[in-house]
Structure 1
């Protein structure tokens, strides 16, 4: 079973518009509102694939109620800690043809006692899991190295630990005694992490960067390249995955769909190239739909066959 963790849950509101006019009134006919946060996008993908998955994390206020109610309506198993004060965030995405603007609220401030209450839930529900996915930002009040605590608990209990975050939280996790099983930085996040410019043009040099002492304890590194696919390091092996060109409807949630594919592949102990192919396929399928975390499953086999994987 897979457990997904969304520490900073949100209501994701998507406005699809022909044009956004600044300093004027904009009326929106096409609005989508969904329970969000990166971990919940992962959860929805896994649910569509009929995987055994349960979602946990922290929510607050009436927005938190919306998140929990929608998950219940969607038949998603969940066990969130509901804060007594504060308000979960709204994340707004404005999509105009090929451009996308995001407005992200910070979310509630979590106290030490509330964090301790969540941790007790986390310890309990992860006992029955083989794979744990930690996704997204940490809310205010949560120590920047908090993911390390969650990873350590999972690591000591034999769980596969996938981490999809950025900035200081990612840096802290790579320096921890107990490493995540997998991380999924993009080029900008890897540049920030290694504190040096990362070029994608020279694969030999890129492989050397992925062998940095900072990353040596992490079994899987999935360097996300968006529409260009990914470069993947597993142990001492390197792979380049390219994806077919598609007419993308909405790229939001595609990275989360990739993580869902890797989580499912690792949970089922599939061969390396099959895990990669699965993850990349789900990322493409998500981009073919307007709503994040939803897949055009009718196209699965077609896209799966078009993923090209080369050992480099």
Structure 2
């Protein structure tokens, strides 16, 4: 069973214009709305791949009701905690030249009682057959140690954790030793204190050092440079696939979904790798945060090149 935790969900509003004119009139050519937030995006992609998950976290106001309705329409199980205030709307402005401007709202303030309710809910779901996906930012009122706290809590019941976070949230969470992590290049460089663009070999070395903490799988997304997957006795690099890109938004979430789906289905390493790269590449062809179609992912999986490292 996969449980995705989205503490700061959002309605994703995707706006397409020719060119952004700061301080001037901008005419919109196309608008798309969807339920979003990293964990929710992961659940949507898992559903498209043919898997199931339960999405949870905090939802508030009319925006929260809209997200819940969207998930129900997509037959995605959900079990959110209602909160005061309005779930945020995140606006992504796409220009013809590929530039993206993001306007993200802060979201509601979460109380200690609501946090405790979530922890109790997650503990009830936790067992040896459960993977928790902890993804994305946290709202006001939630401590930066929350993902580490959840990891310790569910580990006690034999569950596993897949982490996708950045900055201080990423650093504090690593101390709790999640089972799978999916940093991107920038997040890993920031974690290591690099003030320059690291080479693939440096990123691979960082992934190895992080694994020494006890983390089973480290998947590093590197944009146009592809991705690294590092496990015990399995280290590979995969070049990025050539696709007609619409937006890179959601590519990382699709890779997280593929990692979670692979865990749930017990896929062997090569199948997991192909699915991760294909899902991520497929996501960049879609509008906004919509998941890639399974048919496209299956096609792209056959094109993935796997280069073994450390040999």
Q: TM-score range by the shorter chain?
A: over 0.9
SS of 1:11's partner is strand
Mapped partners of 2:74, 2:221: distance in 1: 29
Q: 1:198 to 1:185 in 2, by over 3 A?
A: farther
Structure 1 stretches of 4+ with a deviation exceeding 3 A read 125-129, 197-202
SS of 1:295's partner is coil
Q: 1:111 to 1:19 in 2, by over 3 A?
A: same
Mapped partners of 2:78, 2:249: distance in 1: 23
TM-score normalized by the length of structure 1? 0.93
Mapped partners of 2:289, 2:210: distance in 1: 35
Q: Name 1:279's counterpart in structure 2.
A: 276
SS of 1:180's partner is coil
Q: Name 1:138's counterpart in structure 2.
A: 138
SS of 1:266's partner is helix
**Which residues in structure 2 correspond to 1:167-186 (within 5 Å)?**
167-176=167-176, 179-186=177-184
**Which residues in structure 2 correspond to 1:254-265 (within 5 Å)?**
254-265=251-262
Mapped partners of 2:11, 2:71: distance in 1: 11
TM-score normalized by the length of structure 2? 0.93
Choose from 296, 300, 310 the match for 2:307. Answer: 310
1:289 corresponds to 2:286: yes
Deviation at 1:257, TM superposition (A): 0.5
Equivalent residues of 1:174, 1:214 under 8 A apart? no
Mapped partners of 2:190, 2:198: distance in 1: 15
Gaps of 5+ in 1: none
Deviation at 1:116, TM superposition (A): 1.0
Equivalent residues of 1:288, 1:296 under 8 A apart? no
Choose from 231, 239, 244 the match for 2:241. Answer: 244
Mapped partners of 1:130, 1:255: distance in 2: 22
For residues 118-137 of structure 1, what are the alpha-carbon distances to aligned partners after superposition, in whole Å with 9 as ceiling and x for unaligned? Answer: 22222233459522211101
Choose from 204, 207, 210 the match for 1:207. Answer: 204
Q: 1:215 to 1:10 in 2, by over 3 A?
A: farther
**Which residues in structure 2 correspond to 1:1-312 (within 5 Å)?**
1-83=1-83, 85-97=84-96, 98-127=98-127, 130-176=130-176, 179-197=177-195, 199-201=197-199, 203=201, 205-212=202-209, 216-312=213-309
Deviation at 1:201, TM superposition (A): 3.2
SS of 2:244's partner is coil
Q: 1:78 to 1:23 in 2, by over 3 A?
A: same
Deviation at 1:202, TM superposition (A): 5.5
Mapped partners of 1:119, 1:11: distance in 2: 24
Equivalent residues of 1:3, 1:129 under 8 A apart? no
Deviation at 1:197, TM superposition (A): 4.3
SS of 1:252's partner is coil
**Could you tell which deviates more after superposition, 296-305 or 268-277?**
296-305
Gaps of 5+ in 2: none
Q: 1:238 to 1:198 in 2, by over 3 A?
A: farther
Q: 1:128 to 1:43 in 2, by over 3 A?
A: farther
Mapped partners of 2:212, 2:186: distance in 1: 16
SS of 1:57's partner is strand
Give the paired residue count. Answer: 308
Equivalent residues of 1:10, 1:36 under 8 A apart? yes
